Chain A
């Protein structure tokens, strides 16, 4: 197959089309508007549904309705817009229906800016909507990976009847890279045994709801969600390793921070430092097992993020204090350059790090001193 040059946002849109996306509901916001713009032309061209809703609240509730009917459905937004969708996401999670949401994250909090950020990690992975619900979160680091994960996200969402999010950032959304698209899949509206798609007098009535007035019934639902989550944790963890065979140190970063770290790791290798990179592809489920194993054989870890150390806490949980974990982050839409990460690798490899210091506090002190 020939390679084509695509911008990240448009590639995500086309990948969703090829995955058999039947309906899209969204509202424009930079830096992901190209997804919506592309689908506004492409979806009607194929006779599929595209609606620019009156707001993000409208869009997510249209997604809710379409998902209940068993339609392959997606919305996309960027940080402030995703915050607006949170109520709907919780309802969708509580109703146990599949949906795909792409968050092309930007600098925040608040209105923030339109520069690339990873500040919504906690919102995507640990929180966001109210109530007790797990969710699948995928973090692409390239345009090709954004395509592949978009295709995968629909299958995962439907297999586990679970909210599936893709968290990218303005870098992935706006950059162009050569990619290969998978074959176009037809739109197939499956007659799921839960879908409220009209009984037509032929079957029992189905009910989809997120209301369980009896707490014991709600708790049963919570347990059912956890049961599926256990399967996801067992089967769907994905990550990529680089230069790990003989690594004494490891850098951990996802998405854009992960690929920036790859440049730094390569530079450090040229200097003879035995450092590798682990890049989580699924940040939920998190590759805790792989990181726990690494903690038994490396001398130190460096977490690099475009936020104030949100994934850092998940790494520390997996490491359980076995080895020192260091942190380097840039915030507010600042993308780190490889030389900054290389400087941190030098510090880590100098052997002066210990597990006694809170890595975020230490990083904060360095940031303040730098400014």
Chain B
């Protein structure tokens, strides 16, 4: 088994941390995993993205051109990764930040209003966790429970009070994606 995931959005949307949460969960589930951020000029504002590879065996390339799974938290990321996704792949799109439907019919696009759901829970910054939750609905290699446990184990002590809301965000995203 090997699955590649790209998470993309604006800086500040929690792209890198969202990816790290998945990475911790994969590690704790006993899998091989790599997390690599995009860096360079794009790190200074504009889009940010990270690539996560989860596998049973030693991982080769930590970068992937055409991933089977991706999260686009804004319109530029939707434009970019809709083009680059593998045929048959799934793209989770933050509906709150895009104003168009899918162009391709050979991929599955799941629209989730991440900002609105995060605001309903009480913190807009949780939008990344909503999107991760949605992704888990199409990532059988990791369960909601795996990610919850990873959050609990690796969240810095000073942020532990935010744990229940993070878990709620994961669940709400998962449910919103499941019905699609």
A259 touches B40 (CB 8 A): no
From A178, A259, A335, B60 is in contact (CB under 8 Å) with A259
Docked complex: A265-288 residues within 8 A CB-CB of B: 265-266
Q: CB-defined interface of A172-185 with B at 8 Å, one 1/0 digit per residue?
A: 00111110000000
Chain B residues in 8 Å Cβ range of A73: none
* Residue A41 CB within 8 A of the other chain: no
Q: Does A114 contact B (CB under 8 A)?
A: yes
Residues of chain B within 8 A (CB-CB) of A175 are 34-36, 62
Selected interface stretch from B20-28, B69-77, B117-125, B155-163 = B20-28
Residues on B with C-beta less than 8 A from A5 are 20, 23-24, 27, 35, 154
Number of A-B contacts (CB under 8 A): 59
Number of interface residues, chain A, beta carbon within 8 A: 25
Q: Is the CB of A170 within 8 A of B58?
A: no
B64 part of interface (Cβ distance < 8 Å): yes
Assess the A337–B34 pair: CB atoms within 8 A.
no
**Nearest Cβ in chain B — how far from A308, in angstroms?**
21
Give the residue name and chain of the B residue nearest to A277 (CB): B60
> Which residues of A are interface residues toward B (Cβ below 8 A)?
3, 5, 31, 113-115, 170-171, 174-178, 259-266, 335, 337-339
Q: Can you list 23 contacts pairing A with B, beta carbon distance less than 8 Å?
A: A5-B35, A5-B154, A171-B36, A171-B62, A174-B36, A174-B37, A175-B36, A175-B62, A176-B23, A176-B34, A176-B35, A176-B36, A177-B33, A177-B59, A178-B33, A259-B60, A260-B63, A261-B60, A262-B58, A262-B61, A337-B61, A337-B65, A339-B65
Taking A259-B61, A263-B60 as given, write out 15 further A-B residue pairs in contact, using a Cβ cutoff of 8 Å, ordered by the A residue number. Answer: A5-B20, A5-B23, A5-B24, A5-B35, A5-B154, A171-B36, A171-B62, A171-B63, A175-B36, A176-B23, A177-B33, A177-B35, A260-B61, A262-B60, A337-B61
Smallest CB-CB A-B distances: 5 pairs: A263-B60, A262-B60, A175-B36, A176-B35, A178-B27
Chain B residues within CB distance 8 Å of chain A: 20, 23-24, 27, 32-37, 39-40, 58-65, 154
